[in-house]
Each structure stands twice: as C-alpha cells, then as structure tokens.
Amino acid sequence: MLKRFTLKTILRLNNLTKKFGPVTAVKDLSFTIEKGNVYGILGPNGSGKSTTLGIILNVVNKTSGDFQWFDGSQSTHEALKKVGAIIERPNFYPYMTAAQNLELVCKIKNVSAKNIDEKLEMVGLLDRRNSKFRTFSLGMKQRLAIASALLNDPEILILDEPTNGLDPQGIHQIREIITRIAATGTTILLASHLLDEVEKVCTHVVIIRKGEKLYSGPVDQMNASFGFFELKATNDEKLMSLLNSHPAFGKVVQKGEIITAFLEEPLEAEALNTYLFENGLSLSQLVKRKESLEEQFLLLTNQISA
C-alpha cells in the first residue's frame, strides 16, 4: 500500500501517433502511468487501444511521437523484461506443455524458472502443468497467459481485453485473478471496451475514441458534468421556462412527463426546490442523479461526433 504514495512514473506517452496508410489509428495520444494505480484504457472496438499497446510493447512501429518506459534509460526490449503483458489472444507454442511454455518465457525474460509452479497455482492451472497448450480451453489459455505475464513479478501488468470471448464463468475467474493481483499493489493497465470491467477494477481511466484521447484521470472524476435533475410538475411549460432562465442549467429536455435538466454548475436539489417554489411552482417529483459510468462513457464518446 505504501507503494501507492511513492509516485513513480512507469510509462509516459508523448503525442504518440500511428497511421496505417490513410487511416489514423492513434492520434496525438499522451498520458502517463504512475506506479501503484490500476489504469483502464476504455474505448469502443477499433478505437486504437490495441494499437497503442502494440506500440509501447514493441510490436507496432509508431509513426510519430514517442514513449518512455520507466525513467527512459533502457531500451524498450530491456524495459519489457520488467513488464508482463498479454495482448489479444494468448499466444503460445501449441506443441509445448504449459510448464514448457512458461520455461521458455523465463528464458526470454532472463528470470529463474522457480516461479512457474507458484504462478500456475495462482491462476488455478497447476494440475494441468504438463498438458499440451493446444488441449487448453480459451479460458485456460487466457489464465496461462496471465501466469506467464506474472513470471517476472512485473512492475506493471498489461492486459488487453482479457475477458474477450470467454464464457461467464471464465470472465468471473479472470476478474477475480485481476482483482487479486491489483490488491498486491501491482500497477495494472487494462484495455477494454467493457465499462463495468473497468469500473470494477480500475482507479484511473483513459478514454479514447478513434485514436484520440477524450479523458484521462481518476474514474470518479471522469465526467466534468455536475449531474442532472429529473423533474415532474403539473405545469410543464412553466417548469421549462423557469429551468431555461436559471443560469445553472444547460440542456433541458422533456421526455413524456419527465423533464430532464442537465447541470452546468453545481446546484443542490434543495436550492432548486426553493427556487422553483419561490417562483410559484410545486414539483411532484424531484430526483438528482449523476450519470452512471456507462452514461458518462457514452456521453464522452459521443461528444465530438455531434
């Protein structure tokens, strides 16, 4: 837990850009990853999440910009030995057993092979250590990938869509493992298009859409908006005009009997009630709400398209 307070930069991206021919997959992306936090990269499919991870993991060439692992004193591939990462599908040699595959990873990362059983145990695959990789189910493959990424006790664990394509039980197992790892203070970077996944495990989030960063910061401060009111009154017209003339409100929309008014500056429910009452209007319903993460996410990702 102490780690969380010693702010140490693990990864820094500066104006990273990647073009695939005429398509810009990642556009001017900058963010920083500090030690001890759990980060989520959130974006719809095809928003450039995997490309970004590919660049920092040395498998995709950047077009411009740069990135820096740790303090930047090491080459990328040396730095990657201190990173554990799995991207997209788990990639292993099908003809080797689980343990043999992990031994190979140990050799590449230059770490001792003594951790193998411990990590296999952690992901619940110890009893399958001598089974060939090709006999594994997708969920088992994914868990083996996590075990492999943990072999070097990494400074940061990078996971790209770890639950993609898994059945509910598999998803549950993976999430449980991630939560357990996060609890040990390991920095995690989790790319996903699933909101609740990010909401459940991450402390910080970077939202990207079409390769552009929309937001980065703590999950709970994700939306700059101040929430909204759901109101109901017998005199709709008067309520609308009163809301429109109040400086705190931006958009006001009527949907059936409910009028939704979005705040542009903080306003307490009590203050609104008083204001309306003083202007001769009684409400039959007053609810103040904040957008759920999903609504915030949709709000953010649609902001620019308008």
Q: How many residues bind other proteins (CB under 8 A)?
A: 34
7 binds other proteins (CB under 8 A): no
Which of 133, 129, 109 has its CA nearest to residue 119?
A: 129
Which of 68, 106, 82, 53 has its CA nearest to residue 154?
A: 82
**What DSSP assignment string belongs to 134-173?**
GG--HHHHHHHHHHHHHTT--SEEEEESTTTT--HHHHHH
**Cα distance between the two ends of the chain:** 43
Are 236 and 254 a contacting pair, CB within 8 Å? yes
Nearer to other proteins, 76 or 273 (CB): 76
92 binds other proteins (CB under 8 A): yes
Q: Which stretch binds other proteins (CB under 8 A): 75-83, 195-203, 257-265, 268-276?
A: 75-83
List 83, 140, 198, 206, residue binding other proteins (CB under 8 A): 83
95 binds other proteins (CB under 8 A): yes
94 binds other proteins (CB under 8 A): yes
105 binds other proteins (CB under 8 A): yes
Nearer to other proteins, 125 or 159 (CB): 159
List 78, 153, 196, 257, residue binding other proteins (CB under 8 A): 78
Q: Which stretch binds other proteins (CB under 8 A): 30-38, 55-63, 123-131, 199-207?
A: 55-63
Nearer to other proteins, 40 or 90 (CB): 90
135 binds other proteins (CB under 8 A): no
List 6, 75, 169, 245, residue binding other proteins (CB under 8 A): 75
Binding residues for other proteins, rule: CB under 8 A, are: 20, 54, 57-61, 75-78, 80-81, 83, 85-87, 89, 91-97, 100, 103-105, 107-110, 148
